[in-house]
Amino acid sequence: MFDALLVSMRVTLLAAPAIALVGLAGAVILAHWRSPWRNLLELACILPIVLPPTVTGYYLLNVLGRQALGQFVQLLFTPVGAAIAATVMGLPLMIIAGKAAIAGVDARLEAAARTLGATEWRVLCDVTLPLAKRGLIAGFLLACARAFGEFGATLMVAGSQPGSTRTLAIALYDAVQLGEETTAMAIVALLTGCTVLVLALTRWLEGSAR
């Protein structure tokens, strides 16, 4: 169980920067981009949490396993592959929460910054992001929690190799299959505890933003 915890942590640590960067960019684009393509993009971003995780995993399996890609890097059944699956599954939460936080910033403040000589980039850095900070962090934490406990897509893409790709959630499944009650209960307690902690933290962040 301990090695599964380490695997989960490693996968989450690998996924976190990707969630932060792609999630932030996605949130900004979805909040500010005025284009008919925006709805399509938003749909694509949300799709992974609505689709069965195994379906998302199947798509990933096909994309990451392509011959052309395989010549350069081996991603399937590696911790990096697991991290990619965790990123894709966590991103929607970051993007949805981040978009709401950015769109919630008073447009008059952004207008004021523009009249004071700020370019769109400076408006984003000086006004929009600082004021949306709490919502963005909350979304990031939620996404990381999702990545930490991801199961279906990870199993499809990375399998269940002890010490390499067998995360806590997968270890729980294996433990139940093998009838290891104690291990299963320990993992359940750990995952529930972590998730409740993160949820409480995000509620506090979003609540005290007002």
Partner 1 sequence: MSGLTVRLTRPLRHFALDLAFVHERGILALFGQSGMGKTQTLECLAGLAMPQTGVIALDDRVWFRGEPGAAAVRVPPHRRGIGYVVQDGALFPHMTLAANVAYGIRREPDAAARVRELLAAMGISELAERYPREVSGGQQRRAAIARALAIRPRLLLLDEPFVHLDRLVRARLMRDLVAAVRAQDLLAVLVTHDREELAACADRIALLERGRIIQLGARDEVLDRPVSAAAALLLGDSNLLDGTVAGREGDWWVVRTGALDWRLPGTETLAVGQAVTLAVRASALKIIRPDVPVPPELARNCHPGRLLDADVRPDTVQFTVRFGDGSEVTGATLPDVYARAAARLDEEREFAVVLGGLRWYPRR
Site residues (vs partner 1, CB under 8 A): 106, 108-109, 111-119, 126-127, 130-131
Residues 38 and 46: their CA atoms lie apart, in Å, by 12
Which of 93, 84, 96 minimizes the C-alpha distance to 17?
A: 84
- Closer residue to partner 1, CB minimum distance, 111 or 189: 111
- Closer residue to partner 1, CB minimum distance, 132 or 170: 132
Which of 173, 200, 195, 193 minimizes the C-alpha distance to 184?
A: 173
> What does the chain come to in residues?
210
Token digits of residue 168: 């806590």
Residues 98 and 129: their CA atoms lie apart, in Å, by 10
Which of 72, 75, 99, 73 minimizes the C-alpha distance to 87?
A: 75
